[in-house]
Chains A and B, each alone.
Chain A
Amino acid sequence: MAALVTPVAMSRSVERSQRPRRMRLSTQRRLTGLVLSIPALALVVAFVVIPIVQAVYYSMTQWNGVTSTWIGPSAYTQTFHNPAFWQVLTNNGLLLLAVPFALAIPLGIAVLLHERVRGWKFFRSVYFLPTAISWVVIGMVAERFFAYDGPLDKIIGSHTDFLGSSSTALLALAITFVWSMIGTNTVIFLTGLATLDTTVQEAAFVDGATAWQSFSNVTLPHLKRFVQLAFIMTVISAFSALFSLIFVMTGGGPGYSTTTMEFFVYQTGFSQSEFGTAALYGIVLFVMMAVVGIVQLKLIRSE
């Protein structure tokens, strides 16, 4: 190598090595940045981005895990003729009805805690504690709670197997879901309330506003961004975090009465070995989440 170096090149290389490092610093900075971001990028591309592309392809095949046949976009129209698909979609829609409760109850609890009655910090920890335990464990307790002659039957004096009846199983699941969201959402609202400027509330009070007026005209608008965060997190959970609860409590049944789209993916893929159709349901779920995200963004921008 050294023999090939012309005098010009040599002088240049000497010059470069003698130049203060600062000259090349910006290149060095960019290069380091690029290298440092590669591991994260590689991991996400390999395990999230590529599988999405594959999922779109798989969704248009008929595939039982061994033989795969290409059927094209008609796979989607076939699915739309499947009554189970519509029932599952309806279940997802019904679960959305639980979202207002999963927001309103924690909001009430947060306002209660924000009164800072003695011991509120202790109670805050208590309310937050269930967030630590797995939905698997919550599901196991809920299964017994809603069982025939279980605690709930004793409280309301009935003899109903809530999870065994297709008319009440989804409601029981939704109640468990709302309960599970209380800790997280309460903490979100409490954080929001802590940023509230009390002088505004006091001004409203001096102006003769009732407690409710002060709450709805001052506190609630202030909490808007926190409500949005809690809303989006609750909807994401409703659509993609109930797997454990369903797996433990009902297995999706009776029939398809508690199967949501995320559980449908698992059931179709791993109980019925219809990998192509399962991938298709995964894409449907993805579209549902995207719609929620876009609606949320639109709502934020319109204000």
Chain B
Amino acid sequence: MARSAPTEWTAPAPPGTPVNVAGPSVPLAPARSRRSRARRGVLFLLMVAVAAVMLYPFYFMITTSFHTEAQYQTGHGSSISSWTTLGQTVPIGQQLLNSTLICAASIAIILVVSISAGFAFSKLQFRGSQGVFLALVGAMMVPLQSILIPEYVNVSRLGLTNNYTGAILVYAALGTPFATFLMTTYFRGLPDELIEAAVVDGLSYPATLWRVALPLALPAIATVTVLQFVQIWDDLLVGLLFLQNPAERPITVGLAVLASGRTTSVPILMAGSLVSALPAMVVYLGFQRYLVRGLTLGVGK
């Protein structure tokens, strides 16, 4: 489907038409308009086809959630029973609260440490700060699975797997390298004169960060917050291992455990999935441009 797109593109106009002068970026020139309209129709249909593929899971979740297990098996009839019994099967309110708490605490830690470190690495360089920065950012390349065993042993020996603390600290540590990279890059873009002027005016360096640099860094802060929110909200592995008390499980982990148990009815699982997906989707659609910025920052234009 996607492959045909480039070949459709900019077919040469008939010789002698004025279109060549205007260039192919003006496809509405009269001689080409009919052809161009047909081409646009094809492109539109292609986009609709891709959209259908991308939206399929949502269609599946919504339609399945309005069935009973038996109706799901036969494919006939509809019912709202999985929605009315969702709360009895899945402690959905508690799990949503757990997810929110864990996300909020982890993101708060990530923001505090990455903003301070980012400001330090970009504006308050000390001897060896470049090396420290590189080491910190390099930690981004370490997958959690590579350190999973010692991490689990350490955190459980400290007794932190029995409450939210362990998971929050692990999420915070895993999110910090990229967040620091992002904040450092952002602060580097602020003119040094701005900081110097504030200091000459009598502000201390921490006060300069708080009153001058921080308000200017709001877009970067939004990027870090949104990226981390979606990542932590959607994560399974950390929540699965570092929260030993089932009552403290976030919603994504709760659903995965139910799904792997293979005893819960599929329509209920789908209803739960929709509920769990909603907050991340809202954040995603609302803050799309911050996400895109974070995503493509590595290219550094």
Give chain A's interface residues, CB within 8 Å of chain B.
22, 25, 28-37, 39-41, 43-44, 46-52, 54-55, 58, 104-109, 111-113, 115, 117-120, 123, 125-141, 143-145, 151, 179, 182-184, 187-188, 191-192, 195, 198, 201-202, 205-206, 208, 210-212, 214-215, 225-226, 229, 236, 239-240, 243-244, 247-248, 251, 261-262, 265-266, 269-270, 275, 278-279, 282-283, 285-286, 289-290, 293
**Which residue from A132, A179, A212 sits with its C-beta under 8 Å from B6?**
A212
The number of A-B residue pairs with CB atoms under 8 Å apart is 325
- Could you list 10 further interchain pairs (A-B, Cβ under 8 angstroms) beyond the known A32-B205, A187-B296? A31-B126, A54-B150, A58-B150, A134-B234, A136-B255, A136-B273, A137-B255, A244-B235, A261-B145, A293-B141
B147 adjacent to chain A (CB < 8 Å): yes
- A211 x B154 contact (CB < 8 A): no
B30 to chain A, nearest CB (A): 19
A43, A46, A119: residue with the most chain B Cβ atoms closer than 10 Å: A43
**Which residue from B2, B54, B148 sits with its C-beta under 8 Å from A112?**
B2
B7 to chain A, nearest CB (A): 6
B284 adjacent to chain A (CB < 8 Å): yes
- A279 x B25 contact (CB < 8 A): no
Q: Which residues of B contact A113 (CB under 8 A)?
A: 47
A87 to chain B, nearest CB (A): 18
**Which residue from A30, A138, A279, A289 sits with its C-beta under 8 Å from B127?**
A30
- B151 x A125 contact (CB < 8 A): no
Q: Which residues of B contact A184 (CB under 8 A)?
A: 295
- A279 x B20 contact (CB < 8 A): no
The number of chain B residues with a CB under 8 A from chain A is: 108
Q: How far is the CA of A125 from the CA of B273 in the complex (A)?
A: 20
- B6 x A215 contact (CB < 8 A): yes
A29, A120, A206, A262: residue with the most chain B Cβ atoms closer than 10 Å: A29
- B145 x A44 contact (CB < 8 A): no
A250 to chain B, nearest CB (A): 10
Q: Which residues of A contact B125 (CB under 8 A)?
A: 30, 33
Q: How far is the CA of A269 from the CA of B240 in the complex (A)?
A: 13
Interface window among B77-85, B88-96, B168-176:
B168-176
Q: How far is the CA of A279 from the CA of B148 in the complex (A)?
A: 7
Known: A123-B47, A127-B51. A202 touches B23 (CB 8 A): yes
The residue in chain A whose Cβ has the minimal distance to the Cβ of B11 is A211
The residue in chain A whose Cβ has the minimal distance to the Cβ of B274 is A137
Q: Which residues of A contact B292 (CB under 8 A)?
A: 187, 191
Known: A32-B205, A125-B285, A202-B23. A47 touches B5 (CB 8 A): no
- B299 x A136 contact (CB < 8 A): no
The residue in chain B whose Cβ has the minimal distance to the Cβ of A263 is B145
The residue in chain A whose Cβ has the minimal distance to the Cβ of B202 is A21
Q: How far is the CA of A293 from the CA of B119 in the complex (A)?
A: 27
- A43 x B47 contact (CB < 8 A): no
A159 to chain B, nearest CB (A): 16
Q: Which residues of B contact A240 (CB under 8 A)?
A: 143-145
Q: How far is the CA of A67 from the CA of B241 in the complex (A)?
A: 21
- B288 x A128 contact (CB < 8 A): yes
- B113 x A40 contact (CB < 8 A): yes
The residue in chain A whose Cβ has the minimal distance to the Cβ of B112 is A39
**Which residue from A39, A48, A107, A132 sits with its C-beta under 8 Å from B277?**
A132
- B46 x A112 contact (CB < 8 A): yes
B107 adjacent to chain A (CB < 8 Å): no
B212 adjacent to chain A (CB < 8 Å): no
- B51 x A37 contact (CB < 8 A): no
Q: Which residues of A contact B23 (CB under 8 A)?
A: 202, 205-206
The residue in chain B whose Cβ has the minimal distance to the Cβ of A191 is B296
The residue in chain B whose Cβ has the minimal distance to the Cβ of A202 is B23
- B139 x A244 contact (CB < 8 A): no
- A278 x B260 contact (CB < 8 A): no
Q: Which residues of B contact A278 (CB under 8 A)?
A: 148-149
Q: Which residues of B contact A130 (CB under 8 A)?
A: 54, 57
Q: Which residues of B contact A198 (CB under 8 A)?
A: 25
**Which residue from A44, A119, A270 sits with its C-beta under 8 Å from B139?**
A44
Q: Which residues of B contact A282 (CB under 8 A)?
A: 145-149
B58 to chain A, nearest CB (A): 8
Q: How far is the CA of A41 from the CA of B129 in the complex (A)?
A: 11
**Which residue from A144, A211, A283 sits with its C-beta under 8 Å from B7?**
A211
- A285 x B143 contact (CB < 8 A): yes
- A55 x B150 contact (CB < 8 A): yes
**Which residue from B149, B233, B299 sits with its C-beta under 8 Å from A55?**
B149
Q: How far is the CA of A107 from the CA of B280 in the complex (A)?
A: 25
